[in-house]
Amino acid sequence: MSTLLAFHKAILEKIHDPSTSELLLIARGLGLRRLLCKLLQIYDSPQNLIILVNASSEEAAAIGEELGVLGCRKPGLRLVDFESSRRDRQDLYKKGGLISVTSQIFIVDMLTGDIPTHLITGILLLHAEKVNPTSPEAFIARLYREKNKTGFLKAFTDQPEHITSGLSPLRVIMKELQLRTVHVYPRFHQEVSETLGRDRAVLQFSVDMTEYMFEIHVAIVQCMSTTLTELKRSNTQLDLDDLKVENAYFKSFDAIVRRQLDSVWHKVGPKTKQLVSDLSTLRRLLTLLLTEDAFSFQLYLESLIEANTKNEAGNARQNQSPWMMTEAANVIFQYAKRRCYTIDQKARAAPPLPQVADENEDEWDAIRELEGGASGQRSEWPEGVQPVLEELPKWSIVAEALQEIEEEMMRRETKLTARDPGSNTVLIMTSSIRSAQLLREFLGQIDPSAEKGAQGRKLMEENMRSYLARQAMKKAMQNRTLTNSSGALTPSTNGKPSEVSEALKRKDREREARIASRRRIRGGAPAAASTRSTGAAETLLSAISQQDEAIIAALPEMMFDMFDPAALLTLDADFDTEYGMLAPEQTVIVRAYSDDSDDTVLSEIQPRYVIMYEPNLEFTRRLEVYKRSMPGLGVRVYLMLYNNSCEEAKYLTDVRREKDAFERLIKERGSMLMPILDERRPADSGDNLIRTISTRMAGGRKDVTAEPTRVIVDMREFRSSLPSLLHNAGILVVPATLTVGDYVLTPDMCVERKSIPDLVSSFNSGRLYTQCEMMSAHYKHPILLIEWEENKSFSLEAVQEIKSYAKSSNKYQKKKPNAMETTAMSTYNIQAKLVLLTLTFPRVRIIWSSSPYATTAMFSDLKAHNFEPDAAKAIAVGAEEDGEGGPGTNHVAEELLRTLPGVSAQGVRHIMNKVGSVREFCELSRKEMQEILGVEPGKTCYEFVHRGERRAPAKK
Amino acid sequence: PVVQPGIGNNIIVNPCQRGNPVLECIKGSGKEFGDILSDYQVGRTTGVLYLRLHPEYIHQRIERLGTAFNLRILLVLCDVSEHQDSIRELTKICLINNITVIVAWTLEEAGFYLSTFKQFEHKPPTLIKERVDKDYESMMRTALTSINKVNKTDVEILRTSIGSFADIARTPADRLMQLPGFGQVKVKRIKDAFEKPFRGAG
């Protein structure tokens, strides 16, 4: 097991005391998990009840495992999630020990009293960076402190960058968790840097990207800055400082933009929204370029075009991403294809189009030579296709590094004794599982004798085959679609000859769009166009795409059968599990960076050689800790880096951002006004009591039982922040499984809460109709609550779209009432549906609430002068003999079922009672589905689920 | 000489609304002035009061309304940033008086509401009742994007490289992981949706 370093011990010394509560902020990679496990081990005892909150299921599993290694086995850390029943949970809590529970279940259990809150010894809370006044963590802290003043609450986080909300973010967290102490341990903390020292010896390999990659890289960055400029131009109120291309490399950039735009989000047009989402697409492209092989990249691009040129209805889209129209985008698409293959005779027939091709001519020759005149092999590809099969430059560098490591091993062999720690296993770390997989495939099929850049040829050829097969399959599928639909439709519905397949039409459209975009560029940027004879180039390009089509069409059916991609791609992915069986001397393990479990990997494998395939801040730290805790191992670290790429910039920015975050937090801690933790008055405080009594008097009733105001809340609602705020406002929150409505305020007042996205989706699915129907049937005052998020723009988003529309259609010049009307109808979609809803259910009232806070205030208003609701009655309303809902339900799966055609709200419940999971549902025969859903819907659903099946579907 | 309200295809407008800019924004249905209890009558049984966020004035109007109309709408034009208290107040009043609040943020939107109420007077609720039948691709898109983190590009990739919905359901995680753009988190979300049981033990 990994040893504790001096600073680990120092930290533990400070925080282990079970009588204190505190927040620990630590830099990533310094071993937070190690500390946590140690703490849990210290506290482990059946007399204690320790709750671990906010650990994801993977984290909890990993922590449990590590605890097992530490010796806490019986019973160790137990996990509570939606799969464990209420009775099980109660038993578990009673027995004590270490328990990891999701925050939603924890809240419900505290409210219902299933968990003896006053007996909890302490809570360990992970991911403290997520805490804000409306988060479930804050609710937990409040509920906990209400009944338990002596237990501890220790919060942990290793994500200082995320603590940014508001002016004094740290204070907010401290206040919400009711903590007074905070420990901050950045990498530059004295104790940490004393322990780790400044040993950062890393062998860095810088690689140049290939010419094509470089061009694409430049083009993507160019697209990003164009998009950014566009974004700035259309939104002058944006704070320009934060919007730089290097910031755009990060995921958090979206959040920055969103935060700046949030208050005016309803005023920004769909264009801006498009731009924001474009940025994240481009960012993804950038990573894919550096980590994926040429074919996957090409495939992604194609899917991107496919998804962006069609709208939901399958027609050409109105709002195309602006970057797709730029010349830079054209460069991306052209070069990406050229990394895979070229089309031969066209290249010869045309004037030498790209200079790049010239320069690569000798490389081509080399490739041809490599094939050794194997004309037989060449004929494997369709006529005219010339494979280029560009490899990732890092591949050959990895090969080189492995070579060097092998030599090094030989050299060291003599000096090592068997008792020395460490293994000769080489650990290669990559940024994602996908790139780890790719590297594995490459290493599995490496041809060491080949020259640089061609060592992975076998793999690339395979990829090309599966790529072509995929294209063929797509084609085949489209053809099938055609035959299906033409059978149903009468062929003379429109003037056009119906033989033109839908697929071809779309292709035509795409091609038109492409040509159109090219024309626009030519008009817009004459300088760029003047360099070569554009007319020729243009016809050539469109010819190329036609050529593609022809090639794909020419793929023999046989080929389609031969290269079933499903079969091709099931390569040995479980390399990981096999390493135990192999002699460790020869093993190379490829893994993706993950969280603190990387520490475990390091300490288990004890590698002497580590290759970092991509730079990673956390892992660098882990290596430092690892080296320090394994002195005398002589760990050798290689780092691979693309020159002038976003990788480098990303890494540096990463370092800077973390440092800045820590400095900011330390500064804040220095000047922080310690929140005075007011002892929360219990829910039945005087104020409320008086109101309750007077209510009774006004009602003319005599029994003045001091009943606290309460609201019955559906279990499912605990995912939102409203119950927490209601509780904070002094209203007693009673969790229950409700069939009708989400909140019951009074005996005859029932509320269905909808956030805006919820509203849209439940209008579309028809669920809202059913819910309003149910509420109207059972309650005197059915209420629809439309709730916006705090600080988000308070308006229905569609409102804006009509303006941009109006501009484009020149509303003021020509008057086409009909056109306007339909436009308005489609843009005011939600509004129209709301109108229809109110007309259908005249008794349903609507509450428009700008935030959960506003809702809370309105709920209190509505409850005043009314009787308190009865939980048992509310549960009984509309309930059938039905399984438990609430935290015991897999919501994602439920949601997924609901979107399937033929599945009604009733159907969802039937399915969930009869079948275990969505997957099982998909395996049902047509007959079984019809039994559950009814004949027609069952048929619809079956056909949807099995359409475009690759394997032979179950016989009907 | 005020005209008695007719029951035609026109929205009947209370003369006191003369000069209200929202009249300009009512498109798609006709208007006529008439002596009515509400500000606008948009159907035989539907009356609308119009308000620009000044709750004080509305009390007497509601009082005058009495128990007339089956569906009573208060159309609020919310064009100020300090709306919270007014809306809170209005919500309370309206709930007591059986009035449904509709909030509009622009004049166009308010106009749209008025004309739509009239146009939809006899419309059956099919639009909100059933899912509109759509083509296969968009149904697939709706279904799969209901899983968090899955976007339309991913759907396209899934559809072309894996196949039918059932095929996707039975594809193992490591195979999904090989698709471009599919990381751990996304694959886990997908697997959770497809394979985790609907219900726990209880």
A754 CB-contact burial (10 Å; exposed 0-12 / middle 13-18 / buried 19+): buried
Confidence of residue A140 (pLDDT cuts 50, 70, 90): very high
Phi/psi at A917 (nearest 5 deg)?
-145, 170
pLDDT in tens, A260-296: 776 666 666 667 777 888 888 888 888 888 888 888 8
A441 has pLDDT over 90: no
CB neighbours (10 Å) of residue A539? 12
- For chain B, say whether A205 makes contact (Cβ under 8 Å): no
Confidence of residue A844 (pLDDT cuts 50, 70, 90): very high
pTM score, whole prediction: 0.71
Contact B198 A857 (CB under 8 A): no
Distance CA B44, CA B32 (A): 14
A592 CB-contact burial (10 Å; exposed 0-12 / middle 13-18 / buried 19+): buried
| Contacts A915 to B, Cβ<8 Å | 198
- For chain A, say whether B139 makes contact (Cβ under 8 Å): yes
| Contacts A59 to B, Cβ<8 Å | none
- Cβ-contact B91, A861 below 8 angstroms: yes
Cis, bond preceding B21 (omega within 30 deg of 0):
no
| CATH, range A686-876 | 3.40.50.10130
Nearest one of A264, A262, A269 to A790, comparing CA atoms: A262
Distance CA A570, CA A577 (A): 16
Confidence of residue A94 (pLDDT cuts 50, 70, 90): confident
A6-196 adopts what CATH topology? Rossmann fold (3.40.50)
Lowest-pLDDT range of A403-407, A454-458, A627-631, A804-808 = A804-808
Lowest-pLDDT range of A185-199, A570-584, A643-657, A773-787 = A570-584
pLDDT in tens, A60-73: 888 888 888 887 77
Q: How far is B35 from chain A (nearest CA, A)?
A: 23
- What pLDDT score does B139 carry? 81
- What pLDDT score does A319 carry? 62
SS3 B100: strand
ipTM above 0.90, yes or no: no
- What pLDDT score does A239 carry? 64
More confident residue, A614 or A906: A614
Contact A893 B196 (CB under 8 A): yes
Nearest one of A340, A386, A334 to A215, comparing CA atoms: A334
Confidence of residue A583 (pLDDT cuts 50, 70, 90): very low
A463 has pLDDT over 90: no
CB neighbours (10 Å) of residue A379? 9
Query: Mean of the per-residue pLDDT values for chain A?
Result: 73
Q: How far is A291 from chain B (nearest CA, A)?
A: 10
Confidence of residue A738 (pLDDT cuts 50, 70, 90): confident
Most confident range, picked from A182-191, A478-487, A532-541:
A182-191
A699 has pLDDT over 50: no
Provide long-range contacts, Cβ within 8 A and 24+ apart, for A676-682.
A677/A175, A677/A178, A677/A180, A680/A142, A680/A145, A680/A146, A681/A730, A682/A146
Distance CA A165, CA A159 (A): 13
Confidence of residue A418 (pLDDT cuts 50, 70, 90): low
| Contacts A942 to B, Cβ<8 Å | none
- What pLDDT score does A508 carry? 54
Distance CA A602, CA A297 (A): 32
Phi/psi at A564 (nearest 5 deg)?
-65, 110
Lowest-pLDDT range of A395-404, A538-547, A840-849 = A538-547
pLDDT in tens, B62-105: 888 888 788 889 888 887 777 788 888 888 888 888 899 998 88
A178 has pLDDT over 50: yes
Distance CA A435, CA A391 (A): 13
Contact B163 A817 (CB under 8 A): no
Most confident range, picked from A86-95, A191-200, A512-521, A885-894:
A86-95
- What pLDDT score does A784 carry? 94
Distance CA B11, CA B29 (A): 7
Contact A861 B139 (CB under 8 A): no
Lowest-pLDDT range of A102-106, A362-366, A811-815 = A811-815
- What pLDDT score does A419 carry? 62
- What pLDDT score does A580 carry? 40
Distance CA B127, CA B183 (A): 38
| Contacts B147 to A, Cβ<8 Å | 892, 895-896
Distance CA A210, CA A207 (A): 9
Share of chain B above pLDDT 90, in %: 0
Confidence of residue A609 (pLDDT cuts 50, 70, 90): confident
| Contacts A757 to B, Cβ<8 Å | none
Nearest one of A176, A177, A191 to A5, comparing CA atoms: A191
Give one DSSP letter per residue of A821-877, joined into a string. Answer: HHHHHHHTHHHHHHHHHHHH-TT-EEEEESSHHHHHHHHHHHHTTSPPP-HHHHHHT
| Domain residue spans of chain A | 6-196, 211-338, 686-876, 891-955
- For chain B, say whether A489 makes contact (Cβ under 8 Å): no
Average of per-residue pLDDT across A2-26 = 86
Burial A691-707 (b: 16+ CB within 10 A, else e): ebeebbeeeeeeeeeeb
- For chain B, say whether A659 makes contact (Cβ under 8 Å): no
A901 has pLDDT over 50: yes
Which tokens in the block code for residue A569? 């791609």
Q: How far is A611 from chain B (nearest CA, A)?
A: 21
pLDDT in tens, A656-665: 888 888 888 8
- Cβ-contact A240, A247 below 8 angstroms: no
- Strand B100-104's sheet: what is its strand order? B30-33, B10-13, B40-43, B46-51, B71-77, B100-104
| Contacts A848 to B, Cβ<8 Å | 87, 91, 101, 103
Confidence of residue A575 (pLDDT cuts 50, 70, 90): very low
- For chain A, say whether B18 makes contact (Cβ under 8 Å): no
- What pLDDT score does A751 carry? 93
Confidence of residue A440 (pLDDT cuts 50, 70, 90): confident
Given the structure tokens 């920055």, which residue do they identify? Answer: A256
Count, in order, helices (H) and strands (E) of chain B.
9, 6
- What pLDDT score does A552 carry? 46
Confidence of residue B174 (pLDDT cuts 50, 70, 90): confident
Contact B161 A299 (CB under 8 A): yes
Contact B70 A842 (CB under 8 A): yes
Q: Which residues pair with A152 in a beta bridge?
A: A122
More confident residue, A2 or A214: A214
- What pLDDT score does A805 carry? 39
Given the structure tokens 């292709």, which residue do they identify? Answer: A507
DSSP secondary structure letter of residue B162: T
Average of per-residue pLDDT across A830-859 = 89
- What pLDDT score does A802 carry? 37
Q: Which residues pair with A784 in a beta bridge?
A: A752, A846
Contact B200 A83 (CB under 8 A): yes
More confident residue, A184 or A373: A184
CB neighbours (10 Å) of residue A340? 23
- Cβ-contact B42, B118 below 8 angstroms: yes
Lowest-pLDDT range of A137-141, A535-539, A837-841 = A535-539
Average of per-residue pLDDT across A543-561 = 45
- What pLDDT score does B55 carry? 67
Given the structure tokens 């809170």, which residue do they identify? Answer: B88
B36 has pLDDT over 90: no
A817 has pLDDT over 60: no
* Alpha-helix runs per DSSP H in A489-611: 502-524, 526-529, 534-554, 557-562, 565-569, 575-578, 597-605
- What pLDDT score does A846 carry? 92
- Cβ-contact A390, A212 below 8 angstroms: yes
B201 has pLDDT over 50: no
A-B Cβ pairs (cutoff 8 Å, strict)? 298
- What pLDDT score does A827 carry? 63
- Cβ-contact A28, A617 below 8 angstroms: yes
Selected residues 173-192 of chain A with any CB under 8 Å from a CB in chain B: none
- What pLDDT score does A542 carry? 46
- What pLDDT score does A530 carry? 34
Average of per-residue pLDDT across A832-837 = 89
Given the structure tokens 């395996």, which residue do they identify? Answer: A923
- Cβ-contact A488, A293 below 8 angstroms: no
Distance CA A469, CA A886 (A): 46
DSSP secondary structure letter of residue B199: B
- Residue A543 sits at the vertex; the CA angle it makes with A539 and A546, to the nearest 5 degrees, is 145
CB neighbours (10 Å) of residue A316? 14
Name residue A31's amino acid. G
For residue A732, what are the CA distances in angstroms to A220, A710, A861?
A: 54, 4, 15
Which tokens in the block code for residue B195? 């394979």
- For chain A, say whether B137 makes contact (Cβ under 8 Å): yes
Confidence of residue A523 (pLDDT cuts 50, 70, 90): very low
pLDDT in tens, A328-364: 888 888 888 888 887 765 444 444 444 444 445 555 5
Lowest-pLDDT range of A10-19, A85-94, A254-263, B17-26 = A254-263
Q: Choose the mutation target among A263, A308, A836 for the interface with B, i.e. most B CBs under 10 Å.
A: A836
Average of per-residue pLDDT across A585-599 = 76
> Residue B200, Cα to own-chain centre: how many angstroms?
35
Q: A686-876 and A891-955: same fold? A: no
A891-955 adopts what CATH topology? DNA polymerase; domain 1 (1.10.150)
Distance CA A52, CA A520 (A): 59
